[in-house]
Amino acid sequence: MNRLTLKHLRYFEALARHGHFGRAAEACAISQPALSLQIRELEEILGAPLAERTARRIRLTPLGAAFARRARAVLADVHALEDLARAAAGPLSGPLQIGVIPTVAPYLLPRVITALAAHLPGLDPRPREAVTEKLIEELMDGRLDAAIVALPVSEPTLHEQPLFSEEFVLVRPLADADRPVPSSDMLREMRLLLLEEGHCFRDQALAFCAMSAARPRDVMEGTSLATLVQMVGAGLGVTLIPEMAVGVETRSAPVSVARLAPPRPTRTIGMVWRNSSPLSEPLSRLSGVVRNAVCPGGEGQGAGA
């Protein structure tokens, strides 16, 4: 008779999280038929169905919902045991699941990966790019070891380690380069290009402009900072981007960059991890490597320097 295994728990947790066999199989790096076979085997072991299959999604049965909650708790404990062993083994090594928000990942990761290879050659960093809400969820579930996000996240179970602060800069069409820099009040009257909902950078930009809800004709949305800058270059409006993105995103677009008048909008980027993580001390040392990679010789300086 087959017995319940951690593989069963991992595969079912992925199915419960994604609500779709195809996406769950992709997340587990196995084929969809293989995942379906494992779920059927798990249901046979338990003697009851865990999910109702539909054409587009699956719906958990009451047992399935309860089983998913317990499976997540068990898997979190397993991750903690693995972390405990890694912490006892000495310098941080092996796979490190680290999340990074999209408005940081393309600009920070190349420098960070290079620095980690030099200082922690036994480490195998595995970046995961997603919006803050998703990263925090995965971090608290034990699917990530740490995440690089904009602070604060204000989650009492997570430790926040500031890395650096940076300003937001104004990007506008090249033809506007010699015009006076608009104030935050003036920006409210302009067509402002923002990231789509779900990005914390969008909320920070709206807060600077004191815009709680923007009318569709005043605001256009993009999926990335690169898209926003190209839209500015096409004359569709203006946007704010973090300082670290300037060199990458503005080199191929006919735009101008200007610093706003004080008090300028800023954000603090930091690394977060679970307070309960046995890797807390190694992660604290790792955060120092990340900080030095971004701001050599300068504590908390702007990333665009």
Average pLDDT value for residue range 49-53: 90
pLDDT given for residue 218 in this prediction: 57
- Helix-strand-coil split of the chain, %, nearest 5: 45, 25, 35
Average pLDDT value for residue range 273-299: 84
pLDDT at 130 over 90: yes
Q: How far apart are CA 13 and CA 24, in angstroms?
A: 9
pLDDT given for residue 114 in this prediction: 93
Q: How far apart are CA 35 and CA 13, in angstroms?
A: 11
pLDDT at 274 over 60: yes
pLDDT given for residue 303 in this prediction: 62
pLDDT given for residue 153 in this prediction: 93
pLDDT at 255 over 90: yes
Instruction: Tell me which of 106 and 212 has the higher pLDDT.
Output: 106
Average pLDDT value for residue range 25-35: 88
pLDDT given for residue 191 in this prediction: 87
pLDDT at 213 over 60: no
Q: How far apart are CA 291 and CA 305, in angstroms?
A: 13
Averaged confidence pLDDT in the chain: 87
Place of tokens 């309960």: 276
pLDDT at 252 over 90: no
Backbone Cα Rg of the chain: 23
In 103-228, the DSSP E strands lie at 123-129, 146-151, 158-173, 192-195, 219-222
pLDDT at 110 over 90: yes
- pLDDT tens by residue, 58-82: 889 999 999 999 998 888 778 777 7
Average pLDDT value for residue range 209-223: 64
- pLDDT tens by residue, 171-205: 999 999 999 998 888 888 888 898 887 788 888 88
Q: Residue 4: CB partners within 8 Å, gap ≥ 6?
A: 42, 45, 46
Task: Specify the DSSP element, H or E, that contains 9.
Answer: helix 6-18
Instruction: Tell me which of 201 and 214 has the higher pLDDT.
Output: 201
Q: How far apart are CA 52 and CA 58, in angstroms?
A: 6
Q: How far is CA 278 from CA 127, 145, 240, 249, in A?
A: 20, 10, 39, 38
Grade residue 143 by pLDDT with cuts at 50, 70 and 90.
Answer: confident
Full set of structural domains in the chain with CATH: 6-84 (1.10.10.10), 94-162+269-294 (3.40.190.10), 165-266 (3.40.190.10)
pLDDT given for residue 305 in this prediction: 44
Instruction: Tell me which of 210 and 160 has the higher pLDDT.
Output: 160
pLDDT given for residue 89 in this prediction: 61
Q: Residue 285: CB partners within 8 Å, gap ≥ 6?
A: 92
Q: How far is CA 61 from CA 50, 52, 65, in A?
A: 5, 7, 6
Tokens of 165: 């602060």
Q: Residue 53: CB partners within 8 Å, gap ≥ 6?
A: none
pLDDT at 211 over 70: no
pLDDT given for residue 72 in this prediction: 85
Report the 3 state secondary structure along 31-49: CHHHHHHHHHHHHHHHCCC
Q: How far apart are CA 272 and CA 9, in angstroms?
A: 26
